[in-house]
Amino acid sequence: MDSSVTLPSDLANREPTLCLGVDPFWSLLAMVATQDLVLRNYFRARIVLGQQYLPKEGAVVLAPTHRARWDALMLTMASGRRITGRDCRYMVTRSEMRGLQGWFLNRLGCFPVDQKRPSMTALRYAIDLMIDGQQLVMFPEGRINRFGEAIPLRQGLTRLVHLAHSKGVQVKVVPVGLGYSEVIPRPFGKAAICFSEPMEVIETTREGLLSFNNRLFQGMHSAEQAALRAVGRM
């Protein structure tokens, strides 16, 4: 066995220090509540584009734009268990894991990271998920960016994918764009999500990683333009 590949037990041992993984009962209840009730009744249209680009196996990182708190629900609807047969494992900020919201997120496959000073445990756990062939969601913009300003992407995603690549894991990164018919989504509006063709890290030099980050930015932007056209804002 290649010593560079993390054993499955590493994921199982590290997970309890960060979160409770995916609870079968609460994840099923959340899926029904959010997808069949909340999204269906809040938006009059939920448009999904490029779903054929979603890999059904192997390590995947979804890299979406971040325009509203609805983004995570749209992502799970369009790429979660009902579509790909696997859950979305979200990397979220520490503040999001507090209170009642945190209680639920802790049982729905989310795990916290300190954006300013990420712990080695959280970073290794993210790599463990990739090695295990799971579907990880990271928001490269780092925060909700309602008006889609051209802000530089954080390089954490690219670095994590590079580290997984160095361990022999081929990770597919899917640029994702989200758009709503209003800047602040309103009841009975439209919501759209667009997936772009997966990307892979090939060049691992500093220049290569910077180029990958730039291409990821362009892929996310193009996907968002398609989503905005679908809801009538372009």
CATH number where 14 lies: 3.40.1130.10
Assign residue 188 a region: left if phi > 0, alpha if psi is -120 to 50, beta otherwise?
Answer: left
Which residue has better confidence, 143 or 53?
53
Residue ranges making up the domain that contains 22: 8-230
Residue 47 lies in a domain: yes
- The pLDDT value recorded for residue 9 is 65
- The pLDDT value recorded for residue 6 is 43
Structural domain total, the chain: 1
Range 133-162 average pLDDT: 88
Q: What is the mean pLDDT of the chain?
A: 91
Q: What's the pTM value of the predicted model, to 2 decimals?
A: 0.92
Q: Given a cut of 80, is residue 170 above it in pLDDT?
A: yes
Residue 1 lies in a domain: no
- The pLDDT value recorded for residue 17 is 85
Range 141-146 average pLDDT: 88
Residue 149 lies in a domain: yes
Residue 210 lies in a domain: yes
CA contacts within 13 A on the Cβ side of 51? 15
Residue 2 lies in a domain: no
The residues facing 43 across adjacent strands are 189
Residue 3 lies in a domain: no
Closest CA to 122 of 4, 8, 14: 14
Which residue has better confidence, 126 or 205?
126
Q: Given a cut of 50, is residue 132 above it in pLDDT?
A: yes
Q: Given a cut of 90, is residue 63 above it in pLDDT?
A: yes
CB atoms within 10 A of CB 59: 22
d(CA 34, CA 21): 19
